[in-house]
């Protein structure tokens, strides 16, 4: 085949694949089989490989996944991506409606749309060609994730008109993709994603686009950054225009003439929400007229013409089948409710924490009870209460055991503690849980060494302490079930990489009682070297801000053990770093930051930063991040679904910021 024939064939294949992709991913009306689509794609890939000069940026083949990136570049949005104010009940919606009427009169309408629970993205097109995609970031500056967004089949690489515009949407992971992804992660012993939103966000921030492509993401477009000369005069017309250009919009939207119609729409989706193939966490309500939107304007962080109604946490009823006990790395015995499988907030729940025996007594929980379950913050399952009036008399009281279910040692309740504890240092459960903690994300972060793999290695007696992890060989790992050459190679690389972690990661991973991630970071910064910390006296330790008597005693006792000294020698011998690599934080006296010397509490879900990132940034500027609100708290940062901490802050009159305000101050 010569160049001219190849060009004609490639043009024909692209046209076919683009049309079939639009029918399948946007219209949900496929006209050819998956096998036929795959055959045509393979033919295109082979031709483009043979004639690379004919490959173009809008070829369907670019969706397969490009080269691995080193880092995400920053992108400035031409039109800021503002966040929305929240409504939590009918009165909030009526108050919003009243403000609109006061500003623009009686002649206006609303558009209601499902609030997709995903990651906000901005897409730029020049002359109809998709040239750049970015995350929302802080609303002004986002990250360039073009390569990953190109893997989403419903995002058109070329529009049906040669227009230049910036559009906004929500990238998300369908429930089916989420369940399949977590099944694969479970098989590999990897940590499961908590919900589709986290999974989507994690997928779009992969430096390897092939990983993003494998996650089967989707997108709904919901707005135009700047309508320009499109002739669009209302939000509903804008959505229709996006349809016309070949974008995928959500068809469940509705125009409403009154706030009562809006409330009716909202209430209907509270009931229908579980039946959608994707997660939603609310309803977005917008004034339809663009002219009236402009008249209403915006505040520094959100438009006055739109609001997001947030659904209450979904509650369901199921049967409590049993109560299981697990032993943590510190010996604490934790009861867990085993439930008849039930869908809550889009995912199947079979387990819920019961925390301790006192809570079981307080809620009068019996095995066999009908219980109300919800997900706190739509993430963590919890038993809300028991339906005592539905008891049949067959329910059974639960009693905590007197001996450890793993090693048969006596269980004790230490003075001042609620929990029962196994104090046998050789308890297999504690050793196993300690190993799982050591490799976890906030500790040594060894990718591929999840709970299942650690349990497998421990059961096979290949590891008995954390130093053994660094002595594992390819031969040992290949002999294990479900361990192939590639996964073994990747695991050994991850183990080797973890040797270079900064001291605080190792210190936290060792699981010294009372030493959390924050204290580990403080100790690493102060002492710099593990041997200096190991030699520290109690007096030296309690002289450090945040280190109290209990923690100091625990640290001294740990390093006094011969076993601990031998373990550190072993870790040093296998090349694990024992030195702090980070920068020392600015003291309150040295910093001119607004956070200097202030105690800050983080609560709720942050969108742009993880809790750890926010904490590190605040502490680097001389602030102190605490876990609970008290009279000594200076500032509370409240994300989405902020709960009792926010309520307490408001009761105490403590200043409260949202995430946008936090980012604004951090960027200074």
Among 9, 50, 115, 363, the active-site one is 115
Q: Which of 219, 90, 93 is closest to 149 using CA atoms?
A: 219
Integer CA distances (angstroms), 590 to 150, 431, 597, 632, in order: 46, 43, 10, 21
Q: Which of 217, 206, 213 is closest to 63 using CA atoms?
A: 213
- Three-state SS string across 639-658, please? CECCCHHHHHHHHHCCEEEC
Q: Which of 333, 262, 302 is closest to 97 using CA atoms?
A: 262
Phi-psi region of 354 (alpha: psi -120 to 50; beta: other; left: phi over 0): alpha
Integer CA distances (angstroms), 217 to 122, 147, 170, 191, 361, in order: 15, 13, 11, 20, 44
Spatial contact of 168 and 155, defined as CB atoms under 8 Å apart:
no
CA dihedral of 139, 253, 148, 22, whole degrees rounded to 10: -150
Rounded to 10°, the helix 175-187/196-204 angle is 80
Q: How far is Cα 234 from Cα 106, in angstroms, rounded to an integer?
A: 17
Q: What is the CA radius of gyration of the chain?
A: 28
Integer CA distances (angstroms), 439 to 399, 422, 542, in order: 33, 23, 29
Find the distance separating the first CA and the last CA of the chain, reported in whole Å. 60
The pair of three-digit structure tokens given for residue 70, joined into one six-digit string: 């080193």
Spatial contact of 387 and 372, defined as CB atoms under 8 Å apart:
yes
Q: How far is Cα 440 from Cα 442, in angstroms, rounded to an integer?
A: 6
The pair of three-digit structure tokens given for residue 53, joined into one six-digit string: 């000069």
**Phi, psi values for residue 114, rounded to 5°:** -70, 135
3-state helix, strand, coil in the chain (%, to 5): 40, 20, 40
Specify whether 115 is catalytic. Answer: yes
Catalytic residues: 115
């Amino acid at each position: 085949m010569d160049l001219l024939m190849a060009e004609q064939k490639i043009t024909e294949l692209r046209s076919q694949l683009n049309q079939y992709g639009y029918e399948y991913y946007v219209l949900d009306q496929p006209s050819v089989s998956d096998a036929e689509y795959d055959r045509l794609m393979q033919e295109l890939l082979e031709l483009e490989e043979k004639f690379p000069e004919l490959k173009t940026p809008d070829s369907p083949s670019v969706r397969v996944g490009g080269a691995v990136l080193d880092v995400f570049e920053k992108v400035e949005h031409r039109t800021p991506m503002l966040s929305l104010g929240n409504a939590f009940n009918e009165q909030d919606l009526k108050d919003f409606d009243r403000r609109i009427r006061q500003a623009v009169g009686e002649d206006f309408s609303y558009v209601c749309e499902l609030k997709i629970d995903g990651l906000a993205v901005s897409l730029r097109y020049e002359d109809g060609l998709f040239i750049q995609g970015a995350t929302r970031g802080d609303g002004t500056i986002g990250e360039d994730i073009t390569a990953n967004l190109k893997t989403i089949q419903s995002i058109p690489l070329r529009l049906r008109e040669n227009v230049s515009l910036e559009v906004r949407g929500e990238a998300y992971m369908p429930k089916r993709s989420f369940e399949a992804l977590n099944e694969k992660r479970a098989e590999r012993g990897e940590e499961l994603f908590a919900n589709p939103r986290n999974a989507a966000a994690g997928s779009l921030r992969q430096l390897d686009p092939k990983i993003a492509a494998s996650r089967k993401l989707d997108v709904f477009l919901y707005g135009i950054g700047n309508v320009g000369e499109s002739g669009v005069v209302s939000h509903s017309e804008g959505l229709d225009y996006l349809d016309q250009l070949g974008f995928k919009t959500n068809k469940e939207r509705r125009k409403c003439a009154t706030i009562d119609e809006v409330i009716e729409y909202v209430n209907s989706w509270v009931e229908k929400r579980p039946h959608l193939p994707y997660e939603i966490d609310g309803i977005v309500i917008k004034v339809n007229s663009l002219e009236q939107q402009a008249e209403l304007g915006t505040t520094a962080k959100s438009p006055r013409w739109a609001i997001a109604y947030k659904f209450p946490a979904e509650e369901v009823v199921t049967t409590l089948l049993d109560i299981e006990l697990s032993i943590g790395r510190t010996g604490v015995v934790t009861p867990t409710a085993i439930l008849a499988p039930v869908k809550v907030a889009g995912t199947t729940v079979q387990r819920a924490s019961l925390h301790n025996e006192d809570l079981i007594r307080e809620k009068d929980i019996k095995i066999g009870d009908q219980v109300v379950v919800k997900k706190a913050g739509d993430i963590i399952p919890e038993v809300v209460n028991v339906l005592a009036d539905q008891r049949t008399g067959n329910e059974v009281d639960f009693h905590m055991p007197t001996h450890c279910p793993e090693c048969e040692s006596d269980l004790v309740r230490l003075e001042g503690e609620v929990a029962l504890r196994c104090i046998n240092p050789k308890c297999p459960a504690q050793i196993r849980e300690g190993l799982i903690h050591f490799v976890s994300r906030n500790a040594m972060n060894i990718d591929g060494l999840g709970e299942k793999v650690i349990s497998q290695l421990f059961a096979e007696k290949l590891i008995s302490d954390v130093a053994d992890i660094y002595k594992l060989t390819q031969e040992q790992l290949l002999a294990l079930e479900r361990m192939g050459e590639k996964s073994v190679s990747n695991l050994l690389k991850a183990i080797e990489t973890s040797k270079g972690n900064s001291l605080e990661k190792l210190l936290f991973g060792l699981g010294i009682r009372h030493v959390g991630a924050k204290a580990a970071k403080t100790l690493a910064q102060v002492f710099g070297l593990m041997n200096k910390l190991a030699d520290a006296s109690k007096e030296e330790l309690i002289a450090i801000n945040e280190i109290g008597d209990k923690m100091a005693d625990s640290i001294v006792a740990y390093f006094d053990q011969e076993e601990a000294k031998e373990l550190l020698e072993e870790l040093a011998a296998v090349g694990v770093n024992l030195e702090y690599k980070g920068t020392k934080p600015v003291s309150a006296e040295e910093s001119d930051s607004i956070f200097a010397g202030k105690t800050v509490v983080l609560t709720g879900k942050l969108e742009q930063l993880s809790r750890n990132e926010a904490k590190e940034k605040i502490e680097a500027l001389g602030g102190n991040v605490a876990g609970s609100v008290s009279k000594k708290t200076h500032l509370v940062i409240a994300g989405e679904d902020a709960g009792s901490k926010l309520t307490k802050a408001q009761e105490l009159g403590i200043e409260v910021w949202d995430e946008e305000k936090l980012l604004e101050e951090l960027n200074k």
